[in-house]
Amino acid sequence: MTSPDSGASTTADLPDYAPIPRSALGPALNDQGYYVGRVERNLYWVTDGVYNSAFLTTGDGVVVFDAPPSIGNNLRRAVDEIAAANGVPNTVTHLVYSHHHADHAGAASLFGGDVTRIGHQETRRLLERDGDPARPLPEITFTDRYTLQVGGERVELAWYGPNHTPDNIYIHFPGHDTLMFIDVVNAGWVPIYNVNLSEDVIGYMGAPAIALSYPWTHFISGHLGRLATRDDVAVHQAYIADIEASSREALAAVNPIPFYVAAGENFWAGVKAHLDTVTERAAAPVIAKYTGVLAAADIEEFTRTTTFQIMQSLRLDRGVTVSSAVHP
């Protein structure tokens, strides 16, 4: 097939990345392009290999947690398949939003009719702002905690402040030994660009400890194609802690003055040269350490941009000063 913009770079020239560890990959998908599996009892997870969603079947109907458009109508197929196999109703009565992002919620409108949508009040505000008909507003909202009870099952929703987004919540299934928490930890993989495209760096960095403070064995993390474990969260925490330590070291070690002297009156050229040098010094040992441990750690731009964000947050939020930063 001929591409209309044939001058653009093609996908054929990918660099030779390290092999993806087997442990980072999930179960094979079916012919429709999804996998549905039991997490515990009547809690199920669905994946397309990159995105995850979940649902709870009860005698009173099905509760869906997130509706990524990439899974789309396969979510409906997965619900129908499991409900038929277990002889329970396949009617989706509730849909819970983890956060407002379209890549996890953009198939919400596929579940129409009498479905009750539940989300944080900030999710409602952001969805109202964004005006996307694919993501209808939640009818039920909460500020700090909400207990959802359907068909004898209990789900605890909680908000502890901004992290990946201002509205990203923790979804605990106390009767299923499971926590669902999206877009902070990628099971077995590094975060993508800029702290996994997150808005609040300090909140993002603290979120795994909050996740681990809950009792659970199974973790539904949103990405990629498998469930996560407590060990996955711990490895992610170590990766982020290593970036923080490395950034502190580099901020203290790299003297900015020569860069500004060399840049003359182009101050921004001095800023760029200094911060690029700090970022490179901080990221390089982390990339080396996690290549082969976390999948795609050798896509250097991911760890570099995440390091840049964390290094900037250390400066701006934590007040960590660069070498010779305080005017005499």
Residues that bind Zn ion (CB under 5 A): 101, 183
Rounded distance, CA 171 to CA 35, Å? 21
CB atoms within 10 A of CB 297: 22
Tell the smallest beta-carbon distance from residue 103 to Zn ion (Å): 6
Element (H, E) at 290: helix 267-290
Q: Which is nearer to Zn ion, 81 or 183 (CB)?
A: 183
Tell the smallest beta-carbon distance from residue 68 to Zn ion (Å): 10
Residue type, 123: T
Q: In this chain, which residue has its C-beta nearest to Zn ion?
A: 101
Tell the smallest beta-carbon distance from residue 222 to Zn ion (Å): 7
Q: Which is nearer to Zn ion, 203 or 256 (CB)?
A: 203
**Angle at alpha carbon of residue 79, lines to 77 and 84, rounded to 5°:** 95
In sign, the C-alpha dihedral spanning 303, 304, 309, 314 is positive
Q: Which is nearer to Zn ion, 219 or 259 (CB)?
A: 219
Tell the smallest beta-carbon distance from residue 86 to Zn ion (Å): 31
Q: Which is nearer to Zn ion, 189 or 259 (CB)?
A: 189
Rounded distance, CA 121 to CA 127, Å? 10
Tell the smallest beta-carbon distance from residue 275 to Zn ion (Å): 26
Element (H, E) at 149: strand 145-150
Q: Which is nearer to Zn ion, 100 or 172 (CB)?
A: 100
Q: Which is nearer to Zn ion, 49 or 191 (CB)?
A: 191
Q: 224: cis peptide before it, omega within 30°?
A: yes
**Residues 6 or more apart in contact with residue 233 via CB below 8 angstroms:** 185, 208, 211, 212, 219
Tell the smallest beta-carbon distance from residue 245 to Zn ion (Å): 27
